[in-house]
Amino acid sequence: MEVLLTGGAGFIGTAIARALLADGHTVHVFDQRPVSLPGVTSVRGDLRDPSVVADALRGVDAVCHQAAMVGLGVDFADAPAYAGANDLGTAVLLAAMARADVRRLVLAGSMVVYGEGRYHCPAHGPVPAPPRRVADLEVGRFDPRCPRCGAELTPGLVGEDAPADPRNVYAATKLHQEHLASAWARACRGTAVSLRYHNVYGPGLPRDTPYAGVAALFRSALARGRAPRVFEDGAQRRDFVHVRDVASANLAALASLDTRDPGAFRAYNVGSGEIHTVGDLASALAAAYGGPAPVVTGEFRLGDVRHITADSRRLRAELGWAPRVSFTDGMAEFAAEAAEGAEAAEAVEAAEGADAEEADAYPRN
């Protein structure tokens, strides 16, 4: 199959490109950055440019749409940039697919569309988590309470049928991408799948970027010989899924498109099925890296989600997908990559230091 992979130069996109190639597909990567992966055709451009997108779609059988502006933004002033890159970029792509009669789409969704996770009150059953209050967080009350009776809530798994509750601009654009994809499928008799990724990590995860999240931040601290700083009490529940498992989910979704009725849209959670806390993550990385041990700071950010974990049974049951990389193995691999990077950085610094000393010894006019 000829596949156009948008955002294929990124962290997740690169893993998907490798998986597509290994599965025998022809891969055309569309990105604003150059791609050095052997075996792929690189198309550089902006998704908001209709003529460039139209050219990229010639001869294509399916689109795997990973391109997006990521992160949570600094403040609401970032809204036009996010809407332009994510909403408008997706709209231009889908319009071009309609004109080119390309009817297969796999979309990179996100668990951020849910907002907070699923909660259960012993007296009132499933309830939405109320907005977090600074007064509670300042005294260490991090877990949400029932909005009706104030009782402690038990966190649970979030299924795809949970109400959407995007709580920042990025989340709103990811939900809007799904709405656009669903509308395109109905109007053009296409088939579309959205894969709602949970916390993705693995080799190649960028450090100190908006997308990276706590895994990369903790790893970056350890590589500098510093203790990972864990916010709140470290008990925030997450589902950390390896990037190779995310890539294999994309293959499964792509293979399923021809089995679906024209006009169909379906969303799937992509998670490991293992629940771990942010503290677990920091401890696992520190242990694999050889220390130092994490420090739980009690600090907080008001916009952070307390608990969000996936119910991925729909993906397993309908597409036959299953994750293969365990949390323990994945974290060991992730930490090893950081150690190799730290050694390489030390070698570069040493070489630069030697060059500087030589320059001082032989001054130039």
Beta partners for residue 241, in sequence order: 200
| Residue 201 near residue 330, CB atoms below 8 Å | yes
> Which one-letter amino acid corresponds to residue 135?
A
| Residue 308 near residue 158, CB atoms below 8 Å | yes
Please state whether 110 falls in left (phi above 0), alpha (psi between -120 and 50) or beta: beta
Per annotation, catalytic residue among 82, 114, 170, 268: 170
| Nearest Cα to Cα of residue 11 among 212, 285, 269 | 212
Helices (H), the chain: 11-22, 50-56, 79-82, 89-100, 134-138, 169-188, 213-223, 243-256, 278-289, 313-319, 327-361
| Nearest Cα to Cα of residue 20 among 217, 247, 204, 284 | 247
| Residue 59 near residue 100, CB atoms below 8 Å | no
Instruction: Look at the block and give the residue holding tokens 């939900």.
Output: 175
How many beta carbons lie within 10 A of that of residue 193, not counting itself?
A: 27
Spell out the residues 6+ positions from residue 206 whose beta carbon is closer than 8 angstroms to its own. Answer: 11, 212, 216
How many beta carbons lie within 10 A of that of residue 317, not counting itself?
A: 9
| Nearest Cα to Cα of residue 223 among 212, 234, 239 | 212
Cα–Cα separations (whole angstroms), residue 131 to 154, 246, 305, 308, 353 = 16, 30, 10, 15, 51
| Residue 232 near residue 299, CB atoms below 8 Å | yes
How many beta carbons lie within 10 A of that of residue 132, not counting itself?
A: 20
Spell out the residues 6+ positions from residue 32 whose beta carbon is closer than 8 angstroms to its own. Answer: 9, 44, 45, 46
Active site residue 114: no
Active site residues: 170
